Every structure is written in C-alpha cells, then in structure tokens.
Amino acid sequence: MTKLTEMVQWQDLNNNANEVKNASLRELFKDKRRAEKLTIKNEKLKLYFDYSKNIITDETMQLLIKLARSCDINGYAKKMFMGEKINWTENRPVLHTALRNRSNSPVYVDGNDVMPEINNVLSKMKDFTDKLRSGEWTGVTGEKITDVVNIGIGGSDLGPKMVCEALKFYADGPSVHFVSNVDGADIDETMKRLNPGATLFIVASKTFTTQETLTNANTAKDWIVDKLGIESVKKHFIALSTNKSAVEEFGIDSENMFEFWDFVGGRYSLWSAIGISISCSIGFDKFEELLSGAHEMDKHFLNEPYETNIPVIMALLGIWNNNFLGCETHAIFPYSYYLSKLPAYLQQADMESNGKSVNRDGEMVDYQTAPIIWGEPGTNGQHSFYQLVHQGAKIIPADFIGLVNPPKKVGNHHEKLMANFFAQTEALAFGLNKDEIVDTGEKLIPYKTFSGNRPTNSILLDELTPYTLGVLIAAYEHKIFTQGIIWGLDSFDQWGVQLGKTLASKILPELTGEEMGEHDCSTSALINRFNAS
C-alpha cells in the first residue's frame, strides 16, 4: 500500500494548502455564486449543509474529491454495509447500518442473514415498550412504572442519553434517567428521588463485565431487594446485552434480556436494543422514525456522488483543516437546547473511533488523525469561550447546527437564537478590519480587530424530529468512517481504553486493605495518602 503522505493526491493537496492557507474569505466571497456552489440541499434528508465558509477554493475541493476516489471510500462503505469483517483487529463485521435497514434486504454474516434476528429483537422491544407505557407491565406492587433508569457507560450510555435529551419534546412515557459513573453519588442522587415500586432499571452492557455498570447495577439491585424483596428483581430489571449467561448470573430473567450482537460497536449501538430507553420515552413508532432517518442517510452515503455526498464532504473538509491547515481541534456548536448532549456524544464517536496512530499495515502513521472534538450549545458558549474562537492564536473549525423551525414556538426566542448563529458564522469568516472600527482610540484598534478566516460549516435541519435526528447522527457516523478509511485506521476497535482498566483492577485491592503492589513513587504516594485517611 502506498503511504498516504506519499500519494500524489496528498502531495497535490499539500501544494494547494501552501497557496490557499493565506487566502481571505472576503476575497473568495467576491464570487457571488460561492454559497450556492458550496452548499448541499437535500429535501429528502430535510438538511441544508453550507460549507462555503471554509478556506477552500474550487481546486481544493477537486483535489479532496480525488483523494476520496483514490482511497475508494465507496468500495469500503459497500464492504461495511455487506457485512465484511472490516474491523480487522477484532475480526468482526461492522453492522450498525443493518439495525436500521428499513428495506429489510438480507445482510449476511458468515453466510447467515442477520435481518430476521434484528427484526425479532425490534418486535420484542416494541412489545415491551407498549406494555410499559400503557401500564400493562407493572412493578411487583402493581404500580405503573413512572421512572426508567438506564445503567450503562460509554457507548451504552452516551447515545441513548443524547437522543432522549434531543427528543425530550416528544417524551410522553416514563421519565428516563441515566446512571453511568462508578462514583456512588451518581446512583445515590438518582435513587433518592425515586419510588422503588414504580422504577425499572435497564442494565445496558454489551459485555456485561464492565466494572462501573455492574457496580451500579448491584447497588440498584440491593436497593430494590431491600425495599421490595428478592422476587421483585424480575419485574424491576431488564438487560440489554450480548452476554446471556452473565445476565442470568446477575439474576435477570433471560425473557427480560434484549439481545444485540458483536457486529454492533458500543458507540454505534443506540440503534439496537441499547436504544430501549429512547423507545420507553417517546414510543416505539418514533424510535422507528429515528431508524428511518438514519437509513435515509445510509442510502445517501452509499449512492450519492462524492461531490454532493454530505458525510464525504464533511470528512474531506475535516481532513483539509486537520492535515493541511494544521487545526488541532474541531468544535460542535448546536444552536438548539435539545442538542446539548451532541458534543459529548460526538466526542466519543469520533475520538474513540479515530483516535489512533497505527495503520492497516501495522505501522505508525506520520500524519494527524482524529481532531479533539469539543463544544457546548450556543448561545451560552458565546458568553465564555468564543473569545478564543474569534481572536485566539489557534484556528478552530466549527460545525454550527441549527433548526429552521423549533419544535415549539416561544415568542421570538427562535429568531433571536438563530440571529446569533448567523452572526457568529459571519463574524468568524469575515472578521472586522481596522478601518471598520468606529469610535475607538488608536491604541485599542489592534485589540478590537478580528482577523476573520475562521472556518465553519453551517448545518440547518428543517426541524428536530426523530427522523432528522437519525439523519444527523448517521451523517456524523459516516463522516468518521470516511476519515478512518483515508487515514487507514480501524475505526471500530478501542484498544486504547484497556491499559487504564487493567491497572485499575490491580490497584483496587490495594485500596481495600490488601497488600501494596509495585508502583512508581508518585502513584505509591497517592495510594498511601488515600489509605492513610
């Protein structure tokens, strides 16, 4: 395989970057057709994606598309959708796309169609959700379930938590809570507000071996057993997992286990049984609409030419800013209260998928991979860290995400919110020259000048519904996939989280009075300080 940095397409982009990096967006926007040329509008996806405020020329885009072609993005995408084992370090297929395959066309893994199994679990989820929401499923005391607590971490927490928050406007089922941290405060603060007789715990763990989740689940079980007796476990606990024997050993009836499979990565699992908290909150029909939106984006990603393919263009712009313009971070700024958890969700999706530096040939790469993803909802960020985004010494590319129509109109709040969105992207792109500053003494002019040329993407959803949310999440998933292919990474493993876990399990007995292990002098002193108290 030719090294990425030695490919002619990469070198052409390097040359282009040397020409373009000092270009001014004010100059580039003298082309009055620029916004029209560099915007993708897709009515079916209900999405408008304007990337004209990036430091790019027509030539840059042509070279980036050539890079995508030479890396065979579409060929790899087909392999993923068809169930080839593209997660090569774990020898697994990657089939979150099959979970939302609304066409129901067969998808084969080792010669077996996985769609019947997926459909079975979906229909079991529907049955359960309907019963829970209608009150047919009750707690052991006969009370209707009013509160559902999802106990999980990482991929078994961030996805459903983000979606439940994003679709809160549609929530008409039990209240949904999320407990993830092994810090006892998390579960304690949650349980102290709940009535055990009306509470259902969902233990969400693909492996059913995760220390944090099992610790929290056992604490919840002790609480329920203490209040309602051992027989209550089967009415107050369900499990979402691939590990049937561990679920049974915990004491959850296998009838109340919702299965998923090794071909679903944790951070891609909200479309599976891991999404049951979503379905409890908004109902199964709306959960299906979420799947439909993602499926529509899947079709777009597979079939649309690169030039108008939203995830491919998002990925290429990210590579341009990261690898050629030297930007180290990428910000996510949702201009929607409901999307407040999107930055944290995308942090895992992107940084756990592409935060790697060994390529397909087992070699260290000599280029940057995943950027640092961060962000907060606008407009709050405008009153804090946007100072650095506008005038700091670092350039921070950002995705601004907003809604044309809010789920509910409240006075003129939405116009004010979106005026800020449009103003910020305009200010970041075009800045303020010294001769445009008025009413200021000579001395303050440098401080009040804005350089502009700070790249942004503007993403407008027509509205925030389960469907458009599915579209948006899947767009980011495929952006991450595309970048992983170009960088030559396995985006679907996560070996980087193992070492810390192994060391924590070695240290735990040292904190509970057993013998001290060998450590460096700093770690030993920290453990001694903890043990002395």
Taking only Cα atoms into account, the Rg of the chain, rounded to an integer number of angstroms, comes to 25
Q: Which of 259, 289, 352, 376 is catalytic?
A: 352
Tokens 């180290």 sit at which residue? 328
CB 198 within 8 A of CB 232: no
Tell me the closest approach of the beta carbon of residue 208 to ligand G6Q, in angstroms.
7
Tell me the closest approach of the beta carbon of residue 294 to ligand G6Q, in angstroms.
17
Q: In what order do the strands lie in the sheet with 199-204?
A: 175-179, 147-151, 199-204, 237-241, 257-259
* Binding region for ligand G6Q (CB under 6 A) out of 53-61, 96-104, 165-173, 263-271: 263-271
CB 282 within 8 A of CB 128: no
Q: Exposed, middle or buried, 449 (CB in 10 Å: 0-12/13-18/19+)? A: middle
Residues 369 to 408 in contact with ligand G6Q, rule: CB under 6 A: none
Confirm whether 383 is a catalytic residue.
Answer: yes
Give, as one character, the DSSP assignment of residue 149: E
Tokens, residue 358: 């060994």
Confirm whether 463 is a catalytic residue.
Answer: no
Q: Which of 30, 383, 408, 443 is catalytic?
A: 383
Nearer to ligand G6Q, 139 or 266 (CB): 266
- Does 267 contact ligand G6Q by CB under 6 A? yes
* Binding region for ligand G6Q (CB under 6 A) out of 154-162, 186-194, 319-327, 469-477: 154-162
Whole-angstrom distance, CA of residue 420 vs CA of residue 404 = 13
Residues 463 to 502 in contact with ligand G6Q, rule: CB under 6 A: 494
Closest CA to 176 of 201, 212, 197, 196: 201
- Selected from 129, 156, 216, 323, the binder of ligand G6Q by CB under 6 A is 156
CB 332 within 8 A of CB 341: no
Tokens 């941290």 sit at which residue? 181
* Binding region for ligand G6Q (CB under 6 A) out of 35-43, 199-207, 330-338, 355-363: 199-207
- Does 100 contact ligand G6Q by CB under 6 A? no
Nearer to ligand G6Q, 54 or 210 (CB): 210
CB 200 within 8 A of CB 148: yes
- Please give the angle made by the CA atoms of 145, 146 and 147, to the nearest 5 degrees: 100
- Does 96 contact ligand G6Q by CB under 6 A? no
Nearer to ligand G6Q, 154 or 452 (CB): 154
Site track 323-362 with ligand G6Q (rule: CB under 6 A), x = hit:
-----------------------------x----------
* Binding region for ligand G6Q (CB under 6 A) out of 16-24, 61-69, 149-157, 220-228: 149-157
Which residue is at the shortest CB distance from ligand G6Q?
154
- Does 92 contact ligand G6Q by CB under 6 A? no
The helix (run of H) or strand (run of E) holding residue 346 is helix 342-354
Tell me the closest approach of the beta carbon of residue 336 to ligand G6Q, in angstroms.
25
- Does 272 contact ligand G6Q by CB under 6 A? no
Whole-angstrom distance, CA of residue 209 vs CA of residue 202 = 15
Confirm whether 352 is a catalytic residue.
Answer: yes
Q: Which residues pair with 400 in a beta bridge?
A: 333, 458
Phi, psi torsion values for 54, nearest 5 degrees: -100, 160
Query: Annotated active-site positions, please?
Result: 352, 383, 501
Note the residues at the interface with ligand G6Q (CB under 6 A).
Answer: 153-156, 205-207, 210, 213, 265-267, 352, 494
